[in-house]
Each structure stands twice: as C-alpha cells, then as structure tokens.
Structure 1
C-alpha cells in the first residue's frame, strides 16, 4: 500500500485468493459478464419506467405521487440497505450476497410484472431495490478482486460503460415495450436475464470476504433505519409538506438515528463504516460529487423523459429514442474515460463531466418550450451524455483507490448509498419545484414547472463541478 498525498493507493494481488488457495485468473470477458449483467439490470431499472410512466399512470389510475413512488420505491430501500448489504457481504461472503441479490431482484421483477394496482407495483419495486442493494456495491468489489491491477482502470471503465448502457437503453426499452407490447414486459424481461446472471456469477466469480471483523448489528440497525426514514421523508416532502405531518417527524428521527450511527461507529472497535475512510480527501470529496451528480442529473431525467409524450404527444418508443443522444453517450464515453484516467487523472475527467452535464441541462432549460424542435435539443443531450460518461468510471476508480483492499466493499456501499440518496432527493426536490410552479394541467403548465426544475438541476451540477476541483489529481 502506498500513500500519495492524502489518497491511499492499494495494490491488489494479481490473482484472487480463495479458501482453496490461489487459482488461475478467469478470462476478463467472463468476469465482466458475471458482474456486468446484474449491474446492467439494476441500472436499467433506474430509468426503465420513465418513458412508460404516462401509460402506467393511465392504466393503474396513478397520481403524480404514485409516479414518484414508482421511481423512489426502488431507490429508497436501495439507498437504505447498501451499507448493510456490503457489510454482510464482507462477513458472510460477497459472492453469496451477490447471488442472493440477483435472485431477490429477479423474483421481484416478476411480481412487478403481475401488478394490477399502483400499490402492488410500488411494493414490488421496493423489493427490487433490496435486491439491487446487494448487487451494485459487491459487483464493483468482486470485479476489483478478480482482475490484475494493471487491467483495473480499463475493467472499471468497461463496467462503467455497462452502467451507462443500462441508463442508455432504459428509456428506449421502457418506451418500446409500453408501445409494442405491454408495460409489464418491462419487468418480465428481467427474469431470463436474472437466471443467466445467477449461472454466470456462480460459475465464474470466486468467493471473497472482508477483513473478518464481527458483524455490527447496532450499526446495521441504525444505518438502515436512519437512511430509510431520511429517504422516505425526502420523497414524501413535496406531496405532504415539509413543515407539518409525518415528514418533519421522519426527518428528525432520521437525523437522530444517523447521528447515533456516527457516534457508535466512532466508538465501536469493529465498525461497519470505519470513519477513518473519510480522512482521505479523495474519498470524502468524491462522495460529495456523487451526491450532487445523482441529484442534479437523475432528478432532471425524471421530468425530461416525460416531456416528449406530455407536451409533444409522441409515443413512449418515440420519446425513448429521442433521449438516446443523452443516454447512449455514457456507453461509449465511460470505457474511454477508464482508459484515459491513468494518463490525465480522475480529477480532470470528473470536473469536465460535471461541467458538461451542467452546461447541457442549462442549454435544455433555456431552450425548452411547447414548440421546441427536437433538433434544438440534440446538442444539449449529447453534451449531458458525455458528462455522465466522464463521471461513472473515474468516480468508481477514485472510491476504490482511496481505501484499503479489505474496505473496498464497505467503501463502494457507502458511495452507492450516497448516489441512491441523491437520486431520491433529486427526484423529490425537482418534482416539488415542478408541482409548485407548474403541473400536468396543460402544455404551458408542464413547461412552466419543468424549466425552473431543470435549471435547479443544472445549478446543483455546477456546485458539484466546483467541489470536484478539490479532488486529488490521481487516485
């Protein structure tokens, strides 16, 4: 392990070691498939319902609050249990937890496909989020342990490209299925993919654990409950009000529980989230950037994905295809960013990514109207997509490289917790602005609400670009 400035750089053994001893490394393509396919499913389902929301709203008689819950019921347990899943994986076996997450996610997808009422779809999405919480942080950790150190930046870049692919095809898949089949097939498609993912992960990935510390049940309870109430309060705030009813109670209880979690972690000999991780400038700053990135970008996508249907009267598939210049760009840019990271440094890429995203959203907000031609938005979508692609891989690399090998699982879990909280907070905050200043009542009302909401998203991303300047040049 080497110390470079304030960032800890870890050298991982060239070959993974298991209980049976050293084994020959698996082919890189097989490892990438084993961790990439489940990651693809999870990232796909972040946005797959976005272009299908108007269709689902009509068929299930859903309200605007229901639409938010179709998105946030997924991100709420996802954010709440990421740290818990990572800690359990370190103790019980990362591959075991990873496989369990895939199975839960696949079964919940089938339940979502069978939903006939809004609450049923919301409940199934919540269970999907639980499964996803066991997949995302452990996928990155298993990948980092399975590939040689010399290939790690490139491998993480490809993994980021897979995440970008899920984001890219999410709106298109959702739109195509809702247009040509039935919205339930959005979730049925996960079932055969999930079966394939279980087979690959079981046969390709080796088991690994953390440093053998005991479980921290008090920490698990405090973090999971605190995050659950925090995200739930943020999600409910726009609909129920921030100053009365259950929302301030949930937010106050969340603050108390999370403060208790920090207090307990500082005094526990075997904490589930060692606070010393945040002594690394790279780890602390990259998590702050993750929060602003996910809140600004995904909060804006939630509204813009509906623009082409609600305002311009296009079908779900046509709407999904029109978002491709934005959502497909990360699929191409993220692997390139992984290859460039070693030459120019992660900080340059992350700062550039946030600037591109902020500029792209500002462009959209200033251009958007009921009569805006699609051609006027293509450049903005491409710019925003490049920004997302420049962010995925460098952020993941910075998180892993800023901590010791044994703590990569919990570090990845912490970063993903912050990212998913950012998604939920962004959707809730920007939807609140949308509802306060506009709505679905007319075309003009939709634009009146969307424009200031997207401007807010651009401002949040601009703040993230300034914060990213504090990152170390290299991880």
Structure 2
C-alpha cells in the first residue's frame, strides 16, 4: 500500500479487517458442521440452521445497515458492529445446545450486516478516482483471502482443538480493528439519510419465516400448520416489503434498479450462480467428513484448488471482460462450473480425492475465475456512480439470499440424508443451477463496459427521484 497516504492506509486496513471477519466466519463454518452435530446433536437440521441463522440476519439487514451507517456515522456503526460480532462469536463458542447456538449465530449475522457496508463506505467517503479503485481492489483481494484461509483454519481448529475455537478466530482481528479505529479521526459527514426500520423488519421477518418453513418441512410436512402458516406469512411479509419499496421516498432496495437490463438480468444470474456455490460448499464440506471419512483439515483443503485458481485468474478475466464484454464470460464460466459439478458424480463408495474430487475442483475453479469479475463488472457497470453503493449492497444481498434459500432446501435436495446418493443429488442440482446462470446471462446481458457512459445516463433517467 505504498502509493496510499498514511490516513488512507489506516482506512484500508480498518475496512479490510472489519469485512474479513464476516467473510472468514462464512467460510470456516462448513468444515465445523459435522463436529457441531456430533457434540450438540440435531443432525442435518441443526447444520442447516447454523448456516442459515447467520445468513438470514446478514441478508435481511445488510441493506438496512447501509442506511444506519449514513444516518448515525460510519465509524460509530462499525465500532458497534465489531463489538457485537465479538460478543456473539464468544456466545457461539460457549453454546451448549442447538437453540442457543442458533440464536447466537443469528446475532452474529446481524452484527456482520453492520460491518460490510460501513467498511466500504469508509473507503468511498475518503478516496476518489483511481485511488478509490485501487483501495477497493486491495479490499477485494484481502477479503477473498478469507475464502482461502477459512476452511483450512477451521479444519485445523476442529481436528486439534475444538469446533468452538473456529468461532473465536474472529476475536483477534476484531480487537486489532477496534484499536486502529480509535486512531482514525475523520470529519463528520452530513447525516441526512432516513432509516426505514419498517422495511428492515418486513424483510427480516419475511425471509426468516420462509426459511423456517423450508428447513423444518422435511420434519413436519407441508400439511402441518407450523409449516404452511409461517410460509404464507413470510411470503406475505416479503411482498409487503417489496410494495413498500415502491412507495417510500428512501427505499432500502430501489426497484427501479432492476429495470436496468444488465443489472436485473445480472442479479438473476447471481441468484443461480451463488445458490450453486453455497450448495456445493456446504455439501462438499460436510460429506467429505461424514461420508468419505476425511478429517476436518483435509476437508478444508479439498476445495483449496478452486479458491487458488480464482485468486490467480479472476483479475485477468476481469480485464478480458473489459475488452470483449462480460456476456461471453458470464455464459461460459457457469457452464464450465456445471461440468465441474457433474464430475463429482464420479465420487463413489471407494473414495479417492485425487481422481474423484480434485478434477471437479479444478474445473469449477476455472469456471468461477471466468465468472466472478465479469459478473460484478456487468452489474455495477450498468448503474451510474451516484447509485453504485446501493447497487453493490443489493447485489450482495441477492447473493446471500441465494445461499440462504438453497441451504434451507438442503434436506429436500439430498433426499433427507447427506449420504452418497444425497451427495450425487446435490451435484445434479448444483450443475442445473449453474447452467441456468449461464443461460440467463446469455439471454439478458448485453452491454459492454466501454459503453458505461450512456448506460449511466439511462440509469439516471429511470430513477424516479
């Protein structure tokens, strides 16, 4: 970070560390799920809730958190988020039954929602132009690094200490960030944004009720009022949330954004692609331990080639997409990933990582490298700079909701048990979702990033405000 001024280096360090803990927590948990299930019980349902309780509050509140950050101050909101995340992490590690663990995970997600938008807002508020772009590049590189170290660290802690230490990994970076934050002195920004608490509540309760129904449905059946009633109420609340976004002067999720072609179709592609990635990450992390008998560390290392390829190649794919447009990469990338997912069908009772799993991880890594940067460029490049913050937050929320819903439907997807047959079922569903992502991209994505200027003008014209 030699090209940055001292205060800019401090801001970037704070932003990276604050976001790192939320990304790290999202990647370490999959390898810890079998150990959690063995110790506190609950089977696959508890495993689903450990992941989804975090994603429900994170997904539902991340849009609201952006407004809160603007209204009450980015530094204050980040400080509150860091402290709350640390306390929730300790509560997760100390949990003694499934219910307390799930509640603590939900609290973690709510705290994490305060960190991502406020960390990026610190960068966008203190830097402009090329410096800002470089800073966001640094932020992206380091937060992507959480994907690399998360499963490995999680596996090591599970194998040599306890799954509880997986959730205490966050405490050290949180403490460092709080110290750095105390040294940061920025001029107060104008706080004119209104916070639409009702929209945040409708979104959180709606998503929560639908996910509850999807997770518990295999246990109770759709005929049970404890299932169909939350499902109906959840859908109704989410519809009310969408209707409120049309009528309020300061929406959390401006619906006009989706009328911009590349933004709308790009987010639909995001929904399919990130649902597939979440399903694959969950199933591989759990099955390689419970079905194939690998240690948590080995299971954490299993998907490492995929992440390494993404880190090495994604920036190059972004440059290619800038030259030739994102459409071809957003089409080919998910289809290549689908081929990788189908390679997992070679996993059999006589397990061999090198011939059955590694080829799939390499092919999926190549496809992912072709997809991520062009997808981000297409979506954010379709929206003018004035609305780039909310556009990024919406896309982030869509990717989280995709993972939330597919994990909630896991029992239905695998047929009730994550055995070899269930693992193969998940591979088919993963491949199907990825093919849908590629097809949607081919149909919907049109604009080349070189045409951003006219796109910005068109997007601004659509803004009813």
1:59 aligns with 2:34: no
1:210 & 1:82 partners in 2: Cα distance? 21
- Following superposition, the deviation at residue 30 of structure 1 comes to 4.3
TM-aligned CA distance change 1:217 to 1:180, over 3 Å: closer
**Which residue in 2 is equivalent to 1:6?**
none
**Which residue in 2 is equivalent to 1:173?**
153
**Which residue in 1 is equivalent to 2:259?**
279
Structure 1 residue corresponding to 2:339, chosen from 359, 373, 377: 359
- Following superposition, the deviation at residue 47 of structure 1 comes to 2.6
Structure 1 residue corresponding to 2:348, chosen from 358, 366, 369: 369
2:65 & 2:40 partners in 1: Cα distance? 32
2:213 & 2:186 partners in 1: Cα distance? 39
Aligned with 1:56: secondary structure? helix
1:461 aligns with 2:454: no
1:83-162 aligned at under 5 Å gives the runs 83-150=63-130, 155-162=135-142
TM-aligned CA distance change 1:236 to 1:202, over 3 Å: farther
1:259 & 1:311 partners in 2: Cα distance? 40
Aligned with 1:403: secondary structure? coil
2:271 & 2:190 partners in 1: Cα distance? 26
Structure 1 residue corresponding to 2:20, chosen from 40, 45, 58: 40
Give the conservation status (yes or no) of the 8 Å contact 2:72–2:191.
no
Give the conservation status (yes or no) of the 8 Å contact 1:169–1:327.
no
**Which residue in 1 is equivalent to 2:461?**
none
1:326 aligns with 2:274: no
TM-aligned CA distance change 1:388 to 1:127, over 3 Å: farther
1:320 & 1:329 partners in 2: Cα distance? 16
What root-mean-square deviation, in Å, do the aligned CA atoms of Structure 1 and Structure 2 show?
2.7
1:69-80 aligned at under 5 Å gives the runs 69-80=49-60
**Which residue in 2 is equivalent to 1:12?**
none
Write out per-residue CA displacement over residues 274-309 of structure 1, whole angstroms, 9 at most, x where no aligned residue: 222222122212221221122111112211112222
- Following superposition, the deviation at residue 335 of structure 1 comes to 4.1
**Which residue in 1 is equivalent to 2:322?**
342
TM-aligned CA distance change 1:193 to 1:447, over 3 Å: same
Aligned with 2:409: secondary structure? helix
TM-aligned CA distance change 1:415 to 1:124, over 3 Å: same
TM-aligned CA distance change 1:419 to 1:277, over 3 Å: same
- Following superposition, the deviation at residue 322 of structure 1 comes to 2.2
**Which residue in 1 is equivalent to 2:462?**
none
TM-aligned CA distance change 1:300 to 1:396, over 3 Å: same
Give the conservation status (yes or no) of the 8 Å contact 1:95–1:205.
no
- Following superposition, the deviation at residue 348 of structure 1 comes to 4.1
1:254 & 1:135 partners in 2: Cα distance? 26
**Which residue in 1 is equivalent to 2:422?**
449
2:189 & 2:326 partners in 1: Cα distance? 28
Give the conservation status (yes or no) of the 8 Å contact 1:294–1:419.
yes
- Following superposition, the deviation at residue 251 of structure 1 comes to 2.3
Aligned with 2:349: secondary structure? coil
1:410 aligns with 2:383: no
Structure 2 residue corresponding to 1:473, chosen from 436, 448, 451: 448
Structure 2 residue corresponding to 1:246, chosen from 199, 210, 226: 226
TM-score by length of 1: 0.84
- Following superposition, the deviation at residue 186 of structure 1 comes to 0.8
Give the conservation status (yes or no) of the 8 Å contact 1:226–1:255.
yes
**Which residue in 2 is equivalent to 1:317?**
297
1:199 & 1:146 partners in 2: Cα distance? 19
- Following superposition, the deviation at residue 26 of structure 1 comes to 5.4
- Following superposition, the deviation at residue 36 of structure 1 comes to 1.9
**Which residue in 2 is equivalent to 1:293?**
273
Give the conservation status (yes or no) of the 8 Å contact 1:353–1:390.
yes
1:86 & 1:198 partners in 2: Cα distance? 20
* Structure 1: segments with no counterpart, 5+ residues: 1-23, 441-445
TM-aligned CA distance change 1:380 to 1:156, over 3 Å: farther
Equivalent residues, number: 444
* Bigger mean CA offset, 203-212 vs 45-54: 203-212
Write out per-residue CA displacement over residues 146-177 of structure 1, whole angstroms, 9 at most, x where no aligned residue: 44433555544443333332222222111110
- Following superposition, the deviation at residue 67 of structure 1 comes to 1.2
* Bigger mean CA offset, 140-149 vs 277-286: 140-149
TM-aligned CA distance change 1:423 to 1:207, over 3 Å: farther
- Following superposition, the deviation at residue 369 of structure 1 comes to 1.1
| Structure with the largest fraction of helix | 2
1:182 aligns with 2:162: yes
TM-score by length of 2: 0.86
2:5 & 2:388 partners in 1: Cα distance? 20
User: More relative contact order in 1 or in 2 (CA 8 Å, sep 6+)?
Assistant: 1
1:384 aligns with 2:357: no
2:331 & 2:97 partners in 1: Cα distance? 43
Give the conservation status (yes or no) of the 8 Å contact 2:44–2:411.
no
Aligned with 1:50: secondary structure? helix
1:403 & 1:200 partners in 2: Cα distance? 33
